[in-house]
Amino acid sequence: MVNRLKVIAAAVMAVAIALPAGAAQAEPTPATSPATTCDATLTTPVYHGKVPTPKSVLGFDLGEREVTTAESDTLLTAIDRASDRVTSGTLATSAEGRALKYAIVGTPRNLRNLRAIEASIKLLRNPLTPAPAARVLARNTPAILWVAGNVHGGEESGTDAALKTLYDLAGRDDCAAGRILDNAVVVILPTQNPDGREADTRRNAYAFDMNRDWFARTQPETDGKIELMRKYPPQLFIDAHEMGGTEYFFPPNADPVYHDIAEPTVDWINNTYGAAMIGEFTRRGIPFFNRDVYDMFYMGYGDTVPTTGFNAAGMTFEKGNASPIAARTFEQWLTQWVSLSAAAAKKTEILTTWHAMYADALKQGLEGRLEPNKVYNPGNEVITQVPDRKVRHYFLRADDPAKKAETDLVVRRLQRMDVQVYKLARPLTVKDFKAYGRPEARTTLPRGTYWIPLAQGQKHWIQGMLNEDTYTPFPYFYDVTAWSLPLLGNVSGGSSGQVLLPAATPVQPVAAPSARLTTPRRVGVLQMAGAAQNAGESSGWLRHRLDRDWKLPYEVLVPADVAAGKLGDVDVLLVPDGPANAAATALGEAGRTALKDWVGRGGRYVGWSGGAQLAALTGVSGVTLAEPSSDVPGSLLRTTVAGGPLSEGVGSSVMQFYAYDLVMRAADPSHVVASYPAADSPDWFLSGFALGAGELGGTAAVVDEPVGSGHAVLFAAEPNFRAFTDGTAKIVANAITSDLPATRARALVPVPDASRAAAAIPDRESPIRLTVPTADGDKVRAALNGFGATWAEQAATGGAVRFTVANPGGLGLHEHPWAGRLPGALRTAGVSPLAVVLPQ
């Protein structure tokens, strides 16, 4: 430790020489005045005239109309060429070949000293840097502040506003701009999703919602962005969105908030930036709201990942898209400018606190202390507390060659967020080892096991990525509630609270594992109704997996192709999620017959979710399907896996992602490949939130049903969720490549009741789900009637009632006319919901 401190002291001295006192300050500008007399937004802008105006470059002013991706790039490049305050680059290339352009804005001196600033920031991020040295660095180092827009392609105004922020920082000489430049380096990423912007779609070219992809980094747009963030770690990250209506949302956020987030970041979000924007919008009379809708829980958002992974104030901003582009651009710019100004005014304090959070994370890891659950909004109560168990270490087993690729991917994802990973140099006996989903037991871990101690600066991120459970604090869900990397990858591991210092060696950076598949079988993908969100996403995730991971050729088919006889060109038909009743109708009698005959002659039908329902509807399968009565908004449940070709490399169990999926039972129990154990079994394990999940006990998660000379391999739920459920995706890979036995007993002839039961399940597109005590039912009905909603009701677990509210067109929360106001309406009505799931 002494030697490491000497190294750090020498590094601080070297940075001090490279970045002398005052390097964070811009050269004086004529209009600079004391901070006490300089208002961030009321100061009259003074432009020096050396930077071309947006109108001179584009032919129109920002806010007259939305810029195109090409226009955004053109303006960014023009400003860079004209200004010595700007440098720019490309952080990634999209699936369709578009560049993701970014700009870094700072004083000329700071831009010349970027490498020294990087070194200084790295030292501030090091928990072993002594506090006095950190204070010196904080005084003499600019903060790094990020502004990013347009992660959802159809939410355009964040880009236009970010360009105005870029122009103002490059072109203004007044005190308000000077204060930001004096104290910060600003990284501006106008559009995070150029393909989606050009197509005017929320998602990217592979139908990924990239505001859900942050921790997994499956998309190049996300991956390149986070790599740049590792180089320039933010203390503030603004993620500019749009939503329905005309109001503006900015933090404070709704509950739930993930438990292991450093508390000072929440204070910054609520009391530095949130308070500043509340004051500015109140002064101007601009309608806004906060707290009710957008939570800070799932580790895939543009606020949670900067906050948990970088100790930044990660903030989601949402402007109502019913306002004209001029208003949208102005209000987005206003929140950006106010936030940048607030950060600049407290730069030294922010950087000092930023370092202290890393030092405290190390201390928490040494103590084995996990942060407790909290709620931040009046009237809410914690429903689940983080267990009072010390966690000092996580371990990942590396002794199963069949899971090497999945294990390597987990380690790589940790390393690429600056987590230190080690390998045991000799066997280690751990007295309190808690394997995932199992009780503590004395265990000897073999040599080569990966060891991830929590005693490091990235302790919060480690807990976020390797947790056994997320311990959901509040039953409100805007997205999923489980995402642990080992559980997603079906990687064996666990934790310990013991004080340990094992013999171990640092792990060198792990290369991206190859997952290429080879098979002589011709593969087809049946695309259901393309406009449906679940159909578009599920097939997009599959296309991504086939193209980029498995590198497996395939042909996309639509129902009309099946009816036209094109199944003769494929051996394996992959049928992802989608509206099954609509697909069965689109197939017509000819298509349904062709599909069943093709399987009977030896074709292999591999379907999931709506694809499984379509198999029952068309008579391909005799499975029975039913709607769930449980509330599982997106959690991971252990399934028991039978032996056979589909389980090759999977093992005896795998975690299945489950979110209000159909409950499946096989016509013949011998056809079950994976099933949920009984809820009272020691094998039962759930990570995430659930009410009534015990109804799944004993039901099938995967079946392999012989049909004539062919097979129907069906998954009740999505096995390739967001292309990061690698454990269950391996079963899909096996279903494509494996030789399935032809000697098994023929499946029962599908009974008409199975098809009728499947047909009785409606096609629902992103419904709103609301479960409340029966006593609150009338209050909920009154609230829903007030919105003009239509809904179905069913009894739920524990004497509750479930309201499934229709969402015509599958609108996301950003587009929905009133879903965002539902939590406030319920609170006003005095309803204490058991679970609320809003559309994404």
Provide the residue type at 823 as one letter.
P
CA–CA distance, 486 with 411 (Å, rounded to integer): 10
Strands 450-453 and 672-675: unpaired
CA 448, chain centre distance (Å): 31
CA–CA distance, 577 with 720 (Å, rounded to integer): 10
Tell me which residue of 164, 59, 193 sits closest to 103, measured CA to CA: 164
Q: Contact, 739 vs 645, CB < 8 A?
A: yes
Any idea what DSSP says for residue 551?
-
Strands 288-289 and 236-243: unpaired
**468 is a catalytic site residue:** no
Q: Contact, 309 vs 458, CB < 8 A?
A: yes
Q: Contact, 749 vs 691, CB < 8 A?
A: no
Provide the residue type at 412 as one letter.
R
CA–CA distance, 468 with 462 (Å, rounded to integer): 11
Angstrom distances, CA of residue 773 to CA of 476, 669, 827, 833, 837: 15, 36, 14, 7, 16
CA–CA distance, 264 with 236 (Å, rounded to integer): 12
Provide the residue type at 325 as one letter.
I
How many CA within 13 A on the CB side of residue 811? Answer: 14
Angstrom distances, CA of residue 471 to CA of 23, 478, 492: 45, 16, 20
CA–CA distance, 705 with 696 (Å, rounded to integer): 20
The 10 Å Cβ neighbour count of residue 322 is: 14
One of 71, 156, 318, 537 is an active-site residue; which one? 318
Any idea what DSSP says for residue 225?
H
Provide the residue type at 780 as one letter.
V
The 10 Å Cβ neighbour count of residue 788 is: 8
CA–CA distance, 395 with 501 (Å, rounded to integer): 13
DSSP for 350-404 reads: HHHHHHHHHHHHHHHHHHTPPPPP---STT---SSPPPS----EEEE----GGGH
Angstrom distances, CA of residue 382 to CA of 277, 320, 769, 774: 28, 31, 21, 21
Q: Contact, 545 vs 510, CB < 8 A?
A: no
CA–CA distance, 527 with 631 (Å, rounded to integer): 28
C-alpha dihedral, 294 to 297 to 300 to 306, nearest 10°:
90
Residue environment code for 492-520, b if the CB has 16+ CB neighbours within 10 A, otherwise e:
bbbbbbeebebebeebeebeeeebebeee
Place of tokens 């005084």: 139
Strand partners, 626: 663
Provide the residue type at 790 as one letter.
T
Q: Which runs of E-coded beta strand occur in 39-85?
A: none
Longest dimension (CA), the chain: 87
Angstrom distances, CA of residue 808 to CA of 45, 584, 662, 822: 46, 20, 20, 17
Any idea what DSSP says for residue 106?
-
Q: In what order do the strands lie in the sheet with 441-445?
A: 441-445, 428-435, 493-496, 393-396, 450-453, 422-424, 504-506
CA–CA distance, 530 with 704 (Å, rounded to integer): 27
Residues involved in catalysis? 318
